Structure 1
Amino acid sequence: MKKIMLFIMTISLFALPLNGCRDSNELEDLALVMGIGVDLTEDEHPLVSLQVFLPQGSGQSGGSQSQSKGAGGANQSFIATESGQSIGDAVNKIAKRMSRRVYLSHNAVLIISERMANHRLREVIDYCQRTQEIRQRTLLFVTREDMPKILNYESVLEKTSSISLLKEEEKHLNLITTIRDVSLMKTGPNKPIAIPVIKLRRDSYDPREQVTKIIGSALFTDEQMVGMMNSERTLGILMMNGDFRNNTFTFKPKGRKGKLSVNVQDIRIRAVPTIDRGSWELSIHLSGKGMLQENTTTLNPMNPVDCRQIEKQTAKYLASMIGKGFKQSQCVGSDVYMTYEVFERSYPHECQRAREHWATVYPNIHLSVHPQIQLMHSGASNS
């Protein structure tokens, strides 16, 4: 009998820490937030919009301002908007009027209005970093569009606009910036940050529908927006930072009629920094492969001389694109090309001394680009 009682007491002792499913989250008890938009009201108070996803067969819980339809045609999400003294206060107001618990762990994107990004980016990042449910892999965007409108647009292929933006970034054809990336960028001098800029445009296939388009990047210095860079020059940032996958560039060769479309891929970058008598220079040796996709010029890719000319013109175009983007970043004082880290690896002591006045050093760095593109495929045509 004593052995039985001892066994029962032992089992009970081990069972005490086990609390079962007390902390589980049932789907029907959650309001799944897929996207967050942060704007400013006319009196400069944060205006927060949450895109709440409705699982198939789930009823709407809470007051929504607008609804959107997913690929299946049924209402898949709704937008809840509130203003507050802070971002947390606005989210709390939305949560109070919901019959379900606002669940931020599924959030995929955070869209910031241009007005908010201009002077109060720090406030947005601070909230995201302190809120445990918000993932550090959340994608960041800047827009001039009305926040509920851009969150509420109907995606043709995806269930919500947030998922559509997430899938578009997963292709790695554009600049990708997450909350974690911003945290790392802020460690550099002057805190240079680049965030993709999106806008709504009419779908070319169906004018009745709208789609989001990434039109470039917003540049920040000390967490204040200082300018915007177009999508083409933004690709130069990806190349310099080693994040470029592939892209098709269309350009007009110098001294020729017609245009070339070349798919550039397998880009390799070798940066050579030099500090000589107070002069800072950065040499970029770029190599990559090209696939000729369209040729309306008189250049014949089957001719070795013309083939080298196509390679030379493509390389020259890429060098010009990188150079113009770098010059623009110097004009606004945003080192989004991470040149400080490049110099620091070779000249740690000099960079440490220059860190405090990097805002005066960076605009005077001389950049030289030495590109080399090898044409791997010219198609079946010999013209």
Structure 2
Amino acid sequence: MNRLLSRTIRLSSVLSVCMLLTTGCWSRIEINDRAFVTSMYVDDAGNGQVRVSLGFPLPNRLVQGQSGGVSNDGNPYTHMTKEGKTIAEAIRKIQNDLSREINWGSNRIIVVSSQYAKQGMQPLMEYLGRLPHIQLKTYLFVAKEEAEKIPRMSAVFERFPSEVLREFARRRMTLNALFEI
């Protein structure tokens, strides 16, 4: 009987310690402190500069309790645009203007202008290769004109312009291209 009691106490103490260690991670960034990138637009800005626009959903404009509902306060998304000598510099400037930390885990769309693509995609591919959270199933589009104009289109059936592009790619209404990073 003593042996059974001793085993039960040891087992319950081991389980208690395991449960305490898996209760959560207090060193991670809260979801309220993140800005989730849903789309990235890259253009040649001239003079050796690159223009980068990032699309973000605005959680404060999404109506709670309704699936896909949008409040009347305006668009449920925003785009921030900055220029820099490199893509990393332009994104760093965007980060400086944000009160939240940029998170790449939700990005599924990258659009580059044909002018930028003609100069070479290697700087973009190298930057994306260094991002640890970039999705492997990110769609890459090349726009005839400036990529920055794409988010201005109205998303009638979708909540965000990036979802329109993602649906085109998902339905195979665009050309597929493979790039190795």
TM-score range (shorter-chain normalised) is 0.7 to 0.9
Gaps of 5+ in 2: 1-5, 63-67
1:113 and 1:144 in contact (8 A); partners too: yes
Deviation at 1:111, TM superposition (A): 0.4
Deviation at 1:23, TM superposition (A): 5.2
Please give the alpha-carbon distance, in whole angstroms, between the structure 2 residues aligned to 1:27 and 1:18: 19
Q: CA deviation at 1:28?
A: 2.5
CA distance in 2, matches of 1:142, 1:172: 15
Instruction: Give the SS at the match of 2:159.
Output: coil
1:1-383 matched pairs, under 5 angstroms? 7=10, 10=14, 14=18, 17-18=21-22, 20-22=24-26, 26-55=30-59, 57=61, 72=70, 74-177=74-177, 181-183=178-180
SS in 1 for 2:48: coil
Identify which of structures 1 and 2 has the higher relative contact order when contacts are C-alpha pairs closer than 8 Å and 6+ apart.
2
1:71 Cα offset (Å): 8.2
C-alpha contact (below 8 Å) 1:52/1:78 kept by paired residues:
yes
TM-score with structure 1 length normalisation?
A: 0.39
Aligned to 2:65: none
CA RMSD of superposed structures (Å):
2.8
- Give the conservation status (yes or no) of the 8 Å contact 1:79–1:152: no
Contact between 2:37 and 2:107, CA under 8 Å: does it hold in 1? yes
**TM-score, scaled to structure 2:** 0.77
Q: Which amino acid aligns with 1:172?
A: R
The superposition leaves residues 259-318 of structure 1 with CA deviations (integer Å, 9 ceiling, x where unpaired) of: xxxxxxxxxxxxxxxxxxxxxxxxxxxxxxxxxxxxxxxxxxxxxxxxxxxxxxxxxxxx
AA in 2 matched with 1:123: P
Alpha carbons 2:42, 2:53 under 8 Å: kept: yes
Report the CA distance shift for 1:25/1:152 in structure 2 as closer, same or farther (over 3 A).
Answer: farther
Q: Which amino acid aligns with 2:171?
A: K
Once the two structures are TM-superposed, the CA of residue 11 in structure 1 deviates from its matched residue by: 5.9
| 8 A Cα contact 1:154 1:161, kept in partner | yes
Aligned identity (percent) is 26
Tell me how far 1:121 sits from its aligned partner. Answer: 0.5
Deviations 1:311-363 (A, max 9, x none): xxxxxxxxxxxxxxxxxxxxxxxxxxxxxxxxxxxxxxxxxxxxxxxxxxxxx
Q: Deviations over 1:201-228 (max 9, x none)?
A: xxxxxxxxxxxxxxxxxxxxxxxxxxxx
Question: Which ranges of 4 or more aligned residues in structure 1 deviate by more than 6 Å?
Answer: none
Instruction: Provide the rounded CA distance (Å) in 2 between the counterparts of 1:34 and 1:134.
Output: 11
Q: Does structure 1 retain, via aligned residues, the 8 Å contact 2:104–2:133?
A: yes
Distance in 1, Cα, partners of 2:173 & 2:100? 37
Higher strand fraction (1 or 2) = 1
Q: How far apart are residue 54 of structure 1 and its match?
A: 1.2
Q: Give the direction of change, closer, same or farther, for the CA distance of 1:21–1:152 in structure 2 (3 Å limit).
A: farther
Tell me if the contact between 2:109 and 2:138 (Cα under 8 Å) persists in the aligned partners: yes
Amino acid at match of 2:57: F
Which whole-Å deviations, capped at 9, do the CAs of 1:349-379 have from their partners, x for residues lacking one? Answer: xxxxxxxxxxxxxxxxxxxxxxxxxxxxxxx
Question: Aligned partners of 1:103 and 1:23: how far apart in 2?
Answer: 16
